[in-house]
Every structure is written in C-alpha cells, then in structure tokens.
Structure 1
Amino acid sequence: MRSKSSSATEPSQLDSEKAPLVDNLPNASAAPALEAAAGLKQESSGCFMGISKRTVAGLAATGALLLIFAASAWIPDPGCIHGMVFPSQLQSASSDGRIDPARVFLSIPSTERLLENLRYYSSGTHVAGINYTQASYTRDYFEQQGIDAKIVEYFPWMNYPVDQRVALYNTTNNKVVFEAGLREDVVAQDPLSEDPNNLPAFHGYSADGNVTGQLVYANYGTIDDFKALEKAGVSVANKIVLVRYGRVFRGLKVQAAELHGARGVLIYSDPADDGFSRGKTYPDGPWRPESSIQRGSVIRLQVYPGDPLTPGYASTESAPRIDPKDAKNINHIPSLPLSYRDAEPLLRALQGCGANVSTIADSWVGGLAAKGVEYWTGPSELSVNLLNRVEYKTVPVQNVIGRIKGSEDSEHAVIIGNHRDAWCAGASDPSSGSAALLELARALGELMKLGWRPRRTIVLASWDAEEYGMVGSTEWVEEKIDWLRANGVAYINVDNAVSGTSFAAQASPMFKRLLHSVTRQVPYPNSNESVYDAWLRQSLAEHRLGSASTESVAHASANSDADIDANDDDGASAEKPHKPPINLLGSGSAYTAFMAHAGVSSLSMAFSGIPGAYHSNYDSPKRLTSFIDPDMKLHQAMVRIWGLIAIRLADDPVIDLDPVSYAKDVRKYIKMLKKQISAQSSDDTASAAALGRVRNLHAAQRQLLISSHMVERDRKHLRAVYGEDCQMKSRRRHASCIKLRESINDRVFGLERHFIDPEGIPSREWYKHVLVGPGRSLGYGAQVFPALAEAAEDGDWRQFQVHVKHAAETIYEAAWFLREV
C-alpha cells in the first residue's frame, strides 16, 4: 500500500486485479446527436428526444455538443415520459445567455457507464484501510473528467478479525453440542459469494475476548427489552446474550448488555425482520438466506463517531492519541454476528428455560417459530463459548477529494459525498452510490467541456472507513471545521444509492422545497410518474400498512415529518400525508459530522426497501441487477436527482434553501418533545411544570417563523425589483442587487450553524446540534431537542429548565440572524 505509515497493512488481492475500466469517450456514431440537433427525433406526443432546439442553438458554436451524446447512451428527453411533459425542463438557457446546466445534465447519465462503475467497485471485498487501489482509481477518474482531485489520508485506530468461535457445550462433560459455522454458503451463480478475501463473522470496533456463560435471549436488545427481562426475573449478569438485529443500532445492543453485566453478545438476523418471512431468499429472491451474516460496527455511535483515539480532532499521522481505555465510544465486551441458521440451535437450547417470551410480549417471537422454534428467555442449562480475536492497529485510510472551483463565489462550497469502503463486495452498500458518484463526476465534466462552471465551488468526496463509524468523513470535517462553518453551503450524501425501489430521504428541513422540486423533474423508471409522484404513492401505501422503520441499509430514521401533526400548515397529516415524508437526520452515514457537529445543512437519500443482503457476501451485482435494478435506471435516476440538487445549490444565483419550512418544523419538534415528556414522566406535577416551560420554545419558534418569512419577502423583492441575476447597467442598482442577494444567501446557508451549541449535548459533547441529533438510545434514529429529552428521561427537571432556556435563546438568536440584511 502506498502510505507513509509503517503500520500500514498490505493491500488485498484487489490491488492485483485487472486494469480498471478508465477509458476515453467511446467511438459512438454522432448521427443520433446530429439528428437531435436538427430536431428530427420526435415522439408522437410532440416531445423531442434529447435537448431542445433552443439548447442546440446556444451550443452550436462548439463541437463539444457532440461529446455529450458520444459519451452517454441515447435516452429520451427527461422532460417527456410517455407523452408527459415536465414543464420545468422546457427552458434550456438562462437569461444571461449561459447554458442551462440542469437541462443539459439530465441527458448525460448513462446506465451502461453506471453498470461498469458498479461492477468495478463491487468486484471484491474492499474493507477500510485495504482499498488504496480503489482510492487511486477514483482520484484518477475525477482528474480525467477535468476535476482537480487528491487523496487525503488519516490514521485511525481500527480492528480486524483474527479468529472467531461460537460453541454450545455441556459444562459437566465439556461435550460440544453445537458449533456455529460462522461462514456464508457459496452460491454457484454468484462468484463473489466465494471470494477468498471475504470477511468472516465480524464486528468493527468489537472487543477482543474469549468468554463463556449461559445463554439469555433478549429480543432486539433495546433498553426496554432488558428492563422487561428484569421484570420477568431474568438476569443477564455473567451471561452470553443473544439478540436480533433491528429497532436500534447494533452498538447500542452491545452497550446495553454490557451495562447489565453480560459477558458477550451474539446478534443474529431473524427471518421475521429480514429473511424467508418477507419473501423468497437469495438466490431465488432478494431476501436474506439462512447462512447470511450481517457484519457491521458496534462503536458507541451515539457518543461520537470517527477515530476513537482522536475525539473532536483529526487523526492525522502526527496527531496525539488518547489511551484506548479512555475512548468513550468503545464497548468492552466481545460480540459477533450470526446467521439465523447458526442462531436456531441456540434458541432451541433455551426451550423450557426461564420464561416463554409470549408472557412478556408477542413481539418477542421471531420468524423461526415457523420452523417450530419456541422463543424462551433462558438462562440455558448449556453454556456458550464466544471467542472474538481481533487485532487493533493504526492504519491509513484514504478519502478522495475532488474540487470544481466556482466561477464567481469560489469560497463557498457545496459538498457531495459517498463512502467507498464495504464489509464485503458491497454492491448496494455503498457501491451503488460510488457508481453514481463517478457518473455524476463525468456528467459535471461534460458540462465543463461546454464551458460551464458553477458559481460556487463543488467538492466531490469519496470517503473511506465509513462502515467502522463514519471515520473518513468525520476526520475530514474535524480537520476542516473552521472552513466548513464559514463556507459550507450544504452537504448532499448518497450512501447505498439503490437497495430497493422506494425513494427515501433524510434531511434538514432547509431542503424540503428543493428536494420536492427536483424529484418532480426526474422520471421514475419505467413508469409515467416522476420520482416525486412515486415517492408520495409509496409513502401513502406504507402509511396505510402501518409499516415501521427498522435498522436497514437505508439507515432511515423512524421520525417522519408526515407523522407529527394532523393540522400543520404544510399539509402533513398523521392520517394521510399530503407530501412525501422527509425523515429527520440522526446518524448512520457520512452526513453525521456535517450536520450534527459542523452545522452544515445536510441531505441523505436512497432508493431503499429491501435490505436482504445488507453487509453480507450476497450484496453483489448479481443480486442487485437480478432483483432490484435490472436496467440500472434507478441508479440513473439517483444520479439525476443528486446532480440536479448539486447544480441548483452551486449555480443558482439565489440558494434555494428554505428557512420557512425549518421554522414550521421546529414547531413540530416542540410537539414531539411534549408528547415524549407526557409519555415518559411518572411525576405528573414535574411533567406539568416542564410542559409549562416549553412555552418559551413556542415563543422563540414564532419569532423564527416571522424572520423566515422576512427572508422569503426579501427573495421576492429581489426577483421583482432586480431579478436574481442582477443584470442591469446601473452600477448603483447592480451593487444594491448584489448586496441583497449575498445577504439572502448568507442567511439561508448560515441558519443551520446557529443551532450549533459549542458546549454540545451533556455527556456526549461531540454532538452539538440543539434541535436534532442521534438519540441516546436509538443510534441511527433521530431525537428532537436531545438535551431536553434526555433530561426529561432522567427526571432531571433542574437541568431540563436550564436546557429549555438555552434552546429558546438559541432559536431567538437564529431568528435575529435571519433579520440581518
């Protein structure tokens, strides 16, 4: 591996693979492009294929026009789908004569290129710290598109598997009754299932250890589940705890077990959540087969992400490190993931021991009941030996950072990112997003060949070591924190771009208007709908079914803005959402440091819904193209959405971030907080007093809403009096226009920063956002007003009063900031 670190690990066999597919533009015929330029290709609906005549007229002076069509497969005009016209696509040039980059961009993304990219990135296991080849490939690809790019290395402390064992045995005669295979079956049709570099059963940041104890089943391993065991008279002290994936982040399951005195934790994928109970299993269908193992990190994500030994600052090669025993985001008992095939004998060994889980709650019964398994709590008569040998070391990880310098306002930047590392081949997570990032880079490169440059800088980031706990992105944000807080316009994240067919998004409320607008412009594959239409339809169907979010490849929060208030002004209804839901941002992907630590408004999105291969050897291109996106059009749609949002934020004269939506959502957050207090508090008097103090938040929220409307009035005034482009001959009017436009932009992208508290959330100070952050007992899931919610949960009403006052002051200060013209 090319690294300055003497502790670097050697590259895997990925470094010796065949030369990557980085080629020049294909030798495609120019005839389709010439036909389109002449307006000859036309459907019966009257919609032209390709770009419009007006666009052609604006570009005819350059031969670069042909490169667009030679570089991508010919596709129908995104403004026309089976005769349906998207009106916002019909303009092809802006008022100042510049090309309309969004219009041209939509015709560029190629499904063939996306498939090539996907096959490259998921050609083998590429774990963090041992994928330098892919880092250099990504950098070189960016550079070939005319994008300045470099590799930025950090040196975090990470673990790798050495030896694992799970055995069930009789302590009386030491006879082994069952030994877990801890391996996934080979699928004959899928060569990646037998890649010699595939990882064994493993948890990132798990503790090294060899422990033995009786077995106890604890359902999903939530705090409430452990409380239920205590109520049933079952102790997990000195036991091995068996829990299933779902509900909360896996690191919280291990932490909860540790806090209750357990010696070790086994986490299995139950078929009720992700297996044969959901449908046909791979290779016959997309769902998780019986031998499939879900790897993943068990870092204490809710404390802080990133390198455990450099909390709050970047893990550069020379950075000081804390002692590992002082790292607060590391668990101290060993853990391993299991398949449900390996979990079945363990569950059968519990039969008749302790309490039948139906006496606790029917929700404790999993899908293996269909195979005659009875779910009991234990403790078991037999014992379990859990061996987890891991090696911890400091290793270099590589972020790839590309930069397209802005033409007018180069200091301010829009950042778009995807992580590159995977536990296995990672076709969905994250290679579908990595494939999309490369194609987005190529499309931006084609625009630059036409002479286009964004007004603001665009930064493209390919992160490493995200799977361990957002390490690469966190270290970069910690190093660039001052620059980001001064200049970061927004961060747009795509992790696993395609793992299902349902569009989903988590975002700061600042993105609502823009995201709804863009998804209306992009066709949903193989339909007469836009992505927006399909998104709304799918969310309404899920709402009717009452489906609940679980921990999945989408990392989606269970908190949706459509489920909060039946009478809110934006039309969201608890019974029937008027707009597609945008979830709150908790944690679980690379946006975490941007939003929760730096205060940069963030968006994360995906086509999700079928997590049946998540973090397993079966997350392969074969499965992805067989059952989820056979024609790669979902990937293409994601590139279009991602690119349009980036172009709009980087190139529109006035940044389309929406403080009014934010102010309205703050009111929703307050209502959510009040419901939590009412539901949690056993002290009615204290609860009533706390709810009374929340009135301060309501008053602050009203001021924020008033100030937000002032920004919108300024935006309307700019359009009506000057025009957003500030194209006028009078120097005085031009200067006034520029000043007002800069003021609007500074306020809308700076608003998020005003919800950042430098002191952070008590006991987990790295998280600094006052309004929203990952829940202390959720991990991935979001919690509104986290400091207040946690004080209420702890019954610390004195601290609650302090935090209410501070939160109200923070909102008031944000409101006054929006009035600074």
Structure 2
Amino acid sequence: MNQNKIVYIGSGLAIAIVLFIGGILIGRFAIPRPSNTIDISTETKHSEEEYITIWNNFKQQFLDSISAHEIESNLRDYAQQTHLAGTDDDRLEAESIAGKWRGHGLDVTIHPYDVLLSYPDPIQPNIVSIFDPNNNLIFQSNGSESIFSEDDKSLPFHKIVRPFLAYTTNGTVRSQKLFYVNYCTMDDFRFLETVLNKDELNNSIIICRYGKIFRGNKINIAEKYGIIGVILYSDPIDVVPSSNISNLTYPNSIYMPEMGQQRGSALTLSGDPLTVHYPAKDYMFRTPIDNNPNLPKIVAQQIGYKEAREILTRMTGTSVISNWTGGFHQVRYVYGGFLSDNLSIQISSYNTLQIRRIHNVIGTITGHIEPDRYVLIGAHFDAWNFGALDDGSGTAVNHELARVFGSLMKSNWKPRRSLMFCAWAAEEYGIVGSVEFVEEYAKILGSRVVSYLNMDVIVEGTELMFMEMSPLLYDFSIEISKQVKAPYTSETIYEQWIRHNNGEKDVGKKFFTMGLSANSDYAGFNQIAASSNLAMIYKNQTIIKNIGTYPLYHTQYETFRLVKEFIDPEFQTHQAIARVIGLAAFTLTDIDLLPFNPERYHEALVDLLTLTKSVAPQSINFTSLQIAIDQFKNAATQFNYRVQTTLDKSNPIQLRIVNDQLMQVERAFQNPLGNSIEQSTLKHTIYAPSRTNRYNARGFPTITDAIEDRNITNIQQQISIVTYFIHSAITVLQSPNKIQSIL
C-alpha cells in the first residue's frame, strides 16, 4: 500500500504498518505468519522487515493471481442460462456455487428462506391495449422483447422471463383518461397539480418514463393520487443516441432497441414482504397477502418505446414544459386528459404471487486471531434473464476472488479475521436473500461485522471507477486505489481520477458517494447490522443520462456478447475492480488497527448540514445539531490523537478496545425504532433512502423528509433525534474507561 507516511512498529507477535493520512493515524497492517515461511519456535529472531516482506509477498501473489481470463470464463458460463429466483434452476445454481467454493477450500453453508415472490403468467403476457368507442381493438402491446439474429442461438430463449413488474397486482383496468407524468417523481406530480385539477387524476391511467427514481416509488406515489394503472417506458432521450436510432441500438451497440423493456421489482422495502423485520423461516408468522400494506395495490406494466410512441400520439391536452419533453421526433408531449376520438386505454396484468424457497450460499475462511470479526464480500446470483451485467459481473468476480483466496490458503496464508464470501438469492425482487440472512443473524452480525463489500453491476463501462462508502472508509479507499492499475492504461486508478479531476488530488467529491442507499445487498448491512460498508462500479459517464444506469438494464439483452463485444472485450475492467475489492478484503482481514477515520465522518456531517439548511425554512433552528457536529469533530480528533500517542499496539486487549470503538461509530447512528413508522426497516439516521426514492441515500433522511412535508414541528423533532444519535457516536469515541457527559 502506498501510504503517505509509514511507521514500522513491532514487538513479538504483533508487527504492523502504521498508516498516516495527513498526519492522522488511520490504520495498521498486521503481518500474517505463514507456517511454511517462518518457524514459530524461532519467530522472535526475525526482523520487522522480514514480516513486512512476507505480507507484501502475499499481497503481490493475490494481485498477480487475479485472472481476466478466469473472470471471462466465469461470466460466459453464467450468462448461458437464465437466473430467475425461486426456480429449480436457481436452486441448482446455489448448489453449484457451494460445490465450487468447497473445491477452493472454503467452509460452505447454505441458508434457505421461504419468501413471497412474484411471477408473470407463463402463457399470457401482460399487455396494454387501446380501444375505440365500439370496443374495437386499435392497438395492443406485444408483451415481449425482440430476439435478434445476432444473438447466440444456443441461449435458452424459451426460458426468458417476459417483461413484468414484480409484486404489482394482477387484473385489468381501463380508463378514457391518460396523463403523462414525466418521470413520476413527487416533484412531477406536484407540478402537474399546478397544471390541472388534482381530482382529474383520480381513476385515471398514467404513462411515465423510467429514470430519476426507483420504479416502485413511481407506482407508490401514483397509488396515493388515486391512479388505477401505470405504464412505464424508457424514453429514447435516455437510452439511445440522439440520432440514427435504428443503427446504434442493440444488437449493434449498448443502446436500447425499440422493443427493449426494463424488468424489475415494485417493492419499496427490502426483504420478504410477509415477514418484515424477521427472517422468513418456517416458524415465522406471515402477514396475510390480502391487503398487505407492503405490496402495491395497482396494476402496472412496462412497454417498449416503439409502443409508447403509439400511445403518446393519441393523447390530448396542453404541451408540456421543455424539461418534460422526451426524445421522440414529431411527437407532441402533452399533459393529457381524455384520449382522442373517445378512445380508452387498458392494462391487463396476469402476475401471480407465490411463496418459494431461495438459498443463500456463504463460504468462510476462518480468521486465526479474531475469528469472531467478519469481513464479507457479496454478490447476488439471481437475474431477470441472462444477467451478464446484473449481476453476472459481480458473480464472475466473486468466483474469481474465492478461487484466489483459496489459493492463498494453500500457500499457508491465514487471515487475522474471518473472510466470508456471500452469494445472495432473490436480490432483484427487493434485496430479499441478503436481508433475510441479516435479519436471522442480526444479533451477531450487528456486533461482529467489520465491513461488507458489495459487488452488484460492478462493470457497466470502462472509463472511470466510482465508489459508494461509509465516510469512515474514505482514506482507506484512496489508498487502495493507488495500488491497482486502471484498465486499458498504465495509470493507477488514483492517477486516473486525478487526471479526470483537473489534476486536483481531492478526488472524493467527484468519484465518491458518501453513504449507501437500499437498492442492493448492502441494504441489510447498512440499516440492520449497521456496519461500515463499501461498493464500487466502473462505468462510462458519457452514456449516463436520467436513467442513472446502463441503457440495457434488466432487459433480455444482457448477454455475454454484449459485454465481450461492446463493454470490456479483454475483461481488464473486471480484473481491475476484482483487484480493488479483493485488496480491500485482504487488507481489512489482516490489518491489526482498522483503517477507519472518524474525522472523515465529521466532514460528511458538515456537508450534510450545509445542504439541509439550504432547503429548510428560515425559521428552523439547527443550533443543537451544529453544536453536536462540532463536538463530534473534537471527539474524532482526540480519538485519533489518543490512538496515535497512547495505544500499546502489542497489547491485544487495547487493540481490541480501539477496534471495537471504530466499529461502533457507524452503529451509534442506528435508530433501533426505525426512521419512521412507514420506513421502519430503515434505521440509519445519517444516510438512508428518502420515502420517495429508494435508489439514492439521502443525508439526514428524517429531517429532509419532514422538510418536504413542510411540517415545522416534525422538522425540529427530527433535528433533536439526529442530534441524539450524533451524541451517541461521540460517546463511542470517548475514552472507554468511564461514561463521560458531553455537555
């Protein structure tokens, strides 16, 4: 690791590398003692340099062993099949993963859960239709995506899952009123209220485009407005180039063809909707499906943008404002109302809800000094179809990391802490498998997990790597990036960041996102276990528009061919990000003093307070929160100084106490009651999704939700609650010898 400053400190069994960031101690490496390299009986005769050499040799062996060819082979095998959760193929895949990992020397366990999943009808597709006043069919959607001659003929297209929105209700709804609501955000609905009477939306159907927010939130907001059906589509302005559409879409590029349709879940919570807060085991009571408050109540269906054009051209009403206009040429985007020529529009959905068994796979390398402290690496292995990007990319790398770490074990490498590899089931349905696992083992994971490293769509481009993290891991992430070469270049990832940051070394503001959302398998670890977690992705900034992801997301076109021909032909990007994630895991399992810097959390709190004040009413008093943040800074600074100057690094008890304090900082921000009644599964008071968008982590979520409600009393109450949890984090950082008063 390229530390800014390295200090070698050692005695007897504990030899370490001390990391200083800007003069602040943030971590120290414990050097493993391979039994074939150093005879324990003569261990004390060996120098610090020998221990450091041993550790660096293992690190280099790890980095050199990550193979682009192996990852490519893993992805090719993965993308030859469909991966719908809860099916027989899904069970067989879990068993296959377990077998592979046992072959690498991991201690493997399988964790089953019986959860509520949603499926389209195998025969009757969900469709959108338009009828004339005499009930003659004028238009009908196809209910499927096109298959192209360029696609691999050996792929099991007969197993493809038709486009549907999981958990949306079945049934048929019809209306003569159709409204266009842009991206179906809360702001879009509020703006629409200024254009027309809110009551006009009641018992109507709406059409809106994918993007900006989570699809489930679109449907949830629409339901609150009395809407009976939602049609979603990907607008050309977001998923295709601005010109020459037909020649620049799949199968000729990464862009969405005219019949492409994004599948996905409409569930707005994480985990099994029948056993919220508790694991979906056979002994657990299940909330009845009928009138279940966690399930959508209205019909919804996606269509291709070719079909959306047919619908939009039949709408009437006032032309929309410019930023509501999409990418169709010669189509007038209107707010809507009654359809032209007394037409009516109908959505027919044939979805079913079924309780199915899913299986998580956990492979463990047991730590030899602190086996009860866990570093976890995870990727989900389910997908809506072939899933070459989501999450074939993460699964392929997960297998490669298991292989390489297994090889290190055969070279007598032993981690200080336990390293767990996780293959999660049913992530696509709403982070189901991983959340059930965290719920079942919440008591031990809440006290033992150091970090969870997530791999979900880790490669969707090759230009730049972006990271999401707890602020505690900011400096650690910088240091890791200095040690891995960026793909298709001679630069390190850190050097690449600097070049794209106008030469400035403060790369975090551009390439790091502080706090993680709830839209992947880190959700349970963020909101329940409350560990300090990390996720990363390589992507191309140039193609990202309002959809926030790659154009072919959740379509049947996520094939191996897509990745090999258009995204990462030599798999150097997969190799680079495997090295980053693997090196992070390698370091976190072996380092003696955890590389968490609480001063970075203070910086994040300051930024969040500034942003929150900018949107709050002038009358709101933030004094108590400001004082708490200032006190947190003092506590973090004093903690780092105390560690640097007084910690006896050869004393395992002192080391354990300090590491426990660092692990408890994140946990101190967790509200065990949940952030609100309607979001009781979200517990992190500093970073959590808002009520209206599960995709993005929002700072001070309860305060900002109250600000959106314009409820002055609740704003002040939420400020006081967040202040309390910052005080809790301060007490964690204080000397553990006694309980000290803050004020």
State the TM-score, normalized to the length of structure 2: 0.87
Helix, strand or coil: the match of 1:107? Answer: helix
Structure 1 equivalent of residue 23 of structure 2? none
Deviation string, structure 1 residues 13-67 (Cα, Å, up to 9, x no partner): xxxxxxxxxxxxxxxxxxxxxxxxxxxxxxxxxxxxxxxxxx9x999979xxxxx
Query: Is 2:137 the counterpart of 1:207?
Result: no
Query: What displacement does 1:784 show?
Result: 1.2
| Structure 1 residues 607 and 451, CA gap change in structure 2 (3 angstroms) | same
Query: What displacement does 1:376 show?
Result: 1.4
Structure 2 equivalent of residue 451 of structure 1? 412
CA–CA distance in 1 between the matches of 2:615 and 2:605? Answer: 15
Query: Is 2:173 the counterpart of 1:220?
Result: no
Query: What displacement does 1:322 show?
Result: 0.7
Q: After the TM superposition, which residues 263-662 of structure 1 pair with which residues of structure 2 at under 5 Å, given as runs?
A: 263-277=228-242, 280-300=248-268, 304-350=269-315, 353-357=316-320, 361-369=321-329, 372-379=330-337, 380-381=339-340, 382-501=343-462, 502-538=464-500, 580-609=511-540, 611-662=550-601
Deviation string, structure 1 residues 247-298 (Cα, Å, up to 9, x no partner): 1100111111111111111110111111233882112111111111100011
Deviation string, structure 1 residues 376-406 (Cα, Å, up to 9, x no partner): 1222132111111111111001101111110
Query: What displacement does 1:179 show?
Result: 1.1
CA–CA distance in 1 between the matches of 2:334 and 2:635? Answer: 57
CA–CA distance in 2 between the matches of 1:93 and 1:387? Answer: 70
Structure 1 equivalent of residue 111 of structure 2? 152
Structure 2 equivalent of residue 676 of structure 1? 615
Helix, strand or coil: the match of 1:242? Answer: strand
Query: Is 2:638 the counterpart of 1:710?
Result: yes
Query: Is 2:94 the counterpart of 1:135?
Result: yes
CA–CA distance in 1 between the matches of 2:235 and 2:404? Answer: 42
CA–CA distance in 2 between the matches of 1:100 and 1:808? Answer: 46
Which residue identity lines up with residue 59 of structure 2 in the other structure? A
CA–CA distance in 2 between the matches of 1:387 and 1:524? Answer: 48
| Structure with more contact order per residue of length (Cα contacts < 8 Å, sep ≥ 6) | 2
Structure 2 equivalent of residue 663 of structure 1? 602
Alpha-carbon contact 1:166-1:384 (below 8 Å) kept:
no
Alpha-carbon contact 2:501-2:510 (below 8 Å) kept:
no
Structure 2 equivalent of residue 557 of structure 1? none
Alpha-carbon contact 1:440-1:639 (below 8 Å) kept:
yes
Which residue identity lines up with residue 266 of structure 2 in the other structure? V
Helix, strand or coil: the match of 1:156? Answer: strand
Query: What displacement does 1:150 show?
Result: 1.7
Alpha-carbon contact 2:144-2:163 (below 8 Å) kept:
yes
Helix, strand or coil: the match of 1:151? Answer: strand
Query: What displacement does 1:571 show?
Result: 5.0
| Structure 1 residues 583 and 373, CA gap change in structure 2 (3 angstroms) | farther
Query: What displacement does 1:154 show?
Result: 0.6
Q: After the TM superposition, which residues 188-203 of structure 1 pair with which residues of structure 2 at under 5 Å, given as runs?
A: 188-191=149-152, 195-203=157-165
Query: What displacement does 1:742 show?
Result: 1.6
Query: What displacement does 1:195 show?
Result: 1.1
CA–CA distance in 1 between the matches of 2:162 and 2:332? Answer: 28
Alpha-carbon contact 1:305-1:329 (below 8 Å) kept:
no
Structure 2 equivalent of residue 748 of structure 1? 662
| Structure 1 residues 583 and 348, CA gap change in structure 2 (3 angstroms) | farther
Which residue identity lines up with residue 744 of structure 1 in the other structure? V
| Structure 1 residues 306 and 58, CA gap change in structure 2 (3 angstroms) | closer
Q: Which runs of 5+ in 2 are unaligned?
A: 1-30, 39-47, 544-549, 737-743
Which residue identity lines up with residue 793 of structure 1 in the other structure? E
CA–CA distance in 2 between the matches of 1:637 and 1:454? Answer: 22
Query: Is 2:50 the counterpart of 1:119?
Result: no
CA–CA distance in 1 between the matches of 2:238 and 2:516? Answer: 23
CA–CA distance in 2 between the matches of 1:757 and 1:581? Answer: 25
Query: What displacement does 1:783 show?
Result: 1.4
Higher strand share: 2
Structure 2 equivalent of residue 695 of structure 1? 623
CA–CA distance in 1 between the matches of 2:139 and 2:618? Answer: 55
Helix, strand or coil: the match of 2:350? Answer: strand
| Structure 1 residues 94 and 342, CA gap change in structure 2 (3 angstroms) | farther
Query: What displacement does 1:536 show?
Result: 4.4
Query: Is 2:215 the counterpart of 1:250?
Result: yes
Structure 2 equivalent of residue 48 of structure 1? none
| Structure 1 residues 377 and 704, CA gap change in structure 2 (3 angstroms) | same
Helix, strand or coil: the match of 1:668? Answer: helix
Helix, strand or coil: the match of 1:650? Answer: helix
Which residue identity lines up with residue 193 of structure 2 in the other structure? E
Alpha-carbon contact 1:315-1:475 (below 8 Å) kept:
yes
Alpha-carbon contact 1:539-1:581 (below 8 Å) kept:
no
Query: What displacement does 1:739 show?
Result: 2.9
CA–CA distance in 1 between the matches of 2:311 and 2:494? Answer: 45
CA–CA distance in 1 between the matches of 2:250 and 2:396? Answer: 23
Which residue of the other structure, out of 662, 671, 680, is the alignment partner of 1:757?
671
Helix, strand or coil: the match of 1:155? Answer: strand
Which residue identity lines up with residue 176 of structure 1 in the other structure? L
Deviation string, structure 1 residues 584-633 (Cα, Å, up to 9, x no partner): 31221000111122211111111123502110011111011111100011
State the TM-score, normalized to the length of structure 1: 0.79
CA–CA distance in 2 between the matches of 1:217 and 1:537? Answer: 42
CA–CA distance in 2 between the matches of 1:95 and 1:397? Answer: 44
Alpha-carbon contact 2:169-2:299 (below 8 Å) kept:
yes
CA–CA distance in 1 between the matches of 2:708 and 2:552? Answer: 36
Query: What displacement does 1:775 show?
Result: 1.1
Which residue identity lines up with residue 702 of structure 1 in the other structure? D
Alpha-carbon contact 1:276-1:289 (below 8 Å) kept:
no
CA–CA distance in 2 between the matches of 1:229 and 1:580? Answer: 35
CA–CA distance in 2 between the matches of 1:800 and 1:445? Answer: 51
Q: Which moved more, 1:377-386 or 1:308-317?
A: 377-386
Helix, strand or coil: the match of 1:173? Answer: coil
CA–CA distance in 2 between the matches of 1:96 and 1:521? Answer: 16
CA–CA distance in 1 between the matches of 2:207 and 2:233? Answer: 8
Structure 2 equivalent of residue 106 of structure 1? 63
CA–CA distance in 2 between the matches of 1:204 and 1:626? Answer: 31
Identity of aligned residues (%): 30
Query: Is 2:726 the counterpart of 1:767?
Result: no
Helix, strand or coil: the match of 1:496? Answer: coil
Structure 2 equivalent of residue 169 of structure 1? 130
| Structure 1 residues 345 and 96, CA gap change in structure 2 (3 angstroms) | closer
| Structure 1 residues 448 and 92, CA gap change in structure 2 (3 angstroms) | farther
Alpha-carbon contact 2:126-2:164 (below 8 Å) kept:
no
Which residue identity lines up with residue 628 of structure 1 in the other structure? I
Structure 2 equivalent of residue 780 of structure 1? 695
